[in-house]
Amino acid sequence: MSDTYDVVIIGGGPGGYNCAIRAGQLGLKTAIVESRGALGGVCLNVGCIPSKALLHASELFEAAGSTFASMGILVDKPRLDLAAMMAQKTDAVNGLTKGVEFLMKKNKITYVKGRGRIAGAGRVEVTGEGGVQTLEAKNIVIATGSEPMGLPGVTIDEKRIVSSTGALALEKVPGKLVVIGGGVIGLELGSVWRRLGAEVTVVEYLDRITPTMDAEISTQFQKILKKQGFQFELSTKVVGVDAGKAKLAVALEPAAGGERRTIEADVVLVAIGRRPYTEGLGLETVGIMPDKRGFIANDHWKTSAPGVWVIGDVTTGPMLAHKAEEEGGNVAQLIAGQWGHMNPDIIPSVIYTKPEVASVGKTEEELKAAGIAYKVGKFPFLANSRARTNHETDGFVKILEDQATRRVVGAHMIGTGVGELIGEICVAMEFGASAEDIARTCHAHPTTSEAIREAAKGVDGWVMQA
């Protein structure tokens, strides 16, 4: 016998579970299908949450051994209990994934454990422990997320040659970690293991790390990471990793071609990006063709197949949990006949290193390429009183304003806690604020948010530029 639902969601990550919750709240009969045995997707199980648990703990470990003394706090050399650090990470994951399961019950959503496959219009087949069941659906939402990209000549075993998933669960601190890819995952997880004692080398194909970020931020970021002990091999490609001996042999070549050399590693982390995940999803049964990079196209989250929607990493746009979450809520609203809106120009992104990097809107390079005249305001944390008292003076805030419209069109920051500060700019941008609007807003003293106000003043030349 089959059940009929208003909505069947395939995938229980931030996109899927937020879609389910909103659909449940709106009174839609909803089912969510998840194959990994726990809700929360990549983000809660092997992404955002475990990485942030390890970033926080490793940051405290490093501070105890370094900056504590500069503030007159004398502790014996901290010792690492890696198993305990991993256990608190697992606790954070379990607490949150169980919380999501509770929210499903609270909102009367049917949680179906198993692998979902679209089996024609309005039908989802789920293969689980109890066999195969068919769910009839007025609407199907594809929320199947993404998976790590592999590299030819590099076989991931999740022990010595790892993706982010293996890097979140190493049983001992590697002596030498080689990270392939100077993007978000490489730099966050590279930071974790460097703080815990690994020597970290990042191999990046392009000529700078975090290549899609504002270039001035990338340059400053790399300098700070270098000061912390990171080593970088830029404009370099990995052409293979030999796992035949006790040490891994990582073969490198200049990106443009040239002489090959080898460096040794105990662990290699492959972090060169992620790709949409649609394996065995039955897209062909409803005539959906992913693009050549594997993404399912959407128009306001509608796919080319009637009644089939798509959200999160598996569709276009940044691969971020809050973007997936936003889309999930919107699709539920649209299915219920209500508004569903997201401003693609105001999706913040944060790299949770120390210091953090936070960004929203256009970069200077994008504005130049589009021929848009803009003004810049900048302010360094070195001149911010709170940053100075906290011994956290690395970095700066940069605000970009469109000269014609006088709207803030981008903000890029590097500094401790900027991941929290970026929210202020997002709100300002949503309200169409000018830099002067931010500059005229009273900010509490002493806080690092004053650096935003000073950068905003800088746009109109109220202060000395950094």
CA-to-CA dists, residue 464 to 20, 40, 448, 457, 459, angstroms: 50, 47, 18, 9, 10
Q: Can you tell me which of 61, 221, 230, 277 binds ligand FAD, judged by CB under 6 A? A: 277
Shorter beta-carbon distance to ligand FAD: residue 12 or 329: 12
**Contacting ligand FAD within 181-200 (CB under 6 A):** 185
Binding status of residue 222 toward ligand FAD by CB under 6 A: no
For residue 399, which of 372, 341, 359 has the smallest C-alpha distance? 359
Binding status of residue 393 toward ligand FAD by CB under 6 A: no
Shorter beta-carbon distance to ligand NAD: residue 107 or 220: 220
Site map for ligand NAD, 138-177, x if CB under 6 A? -------------x--------------------------
303 φ/ψ angles, rounded to the nearest 5 degrees: -85, -175
Question: Least distance (Å) from ligand FAD to the CB of residue 249?
Answer: 26
Site map for ligand FAD, 347-366, x if CB under 6 A? -----x--------------
Binding status of residue 14 toward ligand FAD by CB under 6 A: yes
Amino acid 428 reads A
122 binds, among ligand FAD, ligand NAD, none (CB under 5 to 8 A by kind): none
Question: Least distance (Å) from ligand FAD to the CB of residue 224?
Answer: 19
144 binds, among ligand NAD, ligand FAD, none (CB under 5 to 8 A by kind): ligand FAD
Shorter beta-carbon distance to ligand NAD: residue 48 or 141: 48
Do residues 161 and 241 touch, judged by C-beta distance below 8 A?
yes
d(CA 110, CA 112): 6
- CA 163, 297, 13: angle at the middle one, nearest 5? 45
Q: Can you tell me which of 5, 8, 11, 151 binds ligand FAD, judged by CB under 6 A? A: 11
Residue with tokens 């422990």: 129
Binding status of residue 275 toward ligand NAD by CB under 6 A: no
| Number of residues lying near ligand FAD (CB under 6 A) | 35
Could you list the active site residues? 445
Question: Edge-to-edge strand order for the sheet containing 248-254?
Answer: 236-242, 248-254, 261-265
Binding status of residue 183 toward ligand NAD by CB under 6 A: yes
Question: Least distance (Å) from ligand NAD to the CB of residue 194?
Answer: 16
Q: Can you tell me which of 8, 9, 20, 42 binds ligand FAD, judged by CB under 6 A? A: 42
Binding status of residue 50 toward ligand NAD by CB under 6 A: no
Question: Edge-to-edge strand order for the sheet containing 199-203?
Answer: 161-162, 267-270, 176-180, 199-203, 231-233
Shorter beta-carbon distance to ligand NAD: residue 280 or 318: 318
Q: Can you tell me which of 11, 116, 145, 182 binds ligand NAD, judged by CB under 6 A? A: 182
Binding status of residue 429 toward ligand NAD by CB under 6 A: no
d(CA 426, CA 357): 15
**Contacting ligand NAD within 332-371 (CB under 6 A):** 349-352
Q: Name the site residues for ligand NAD (rule: CB under 6 A).
A: 151, 180-186, 188, 203-206, 211, 237-238, 271-274, 318-320, 349-352
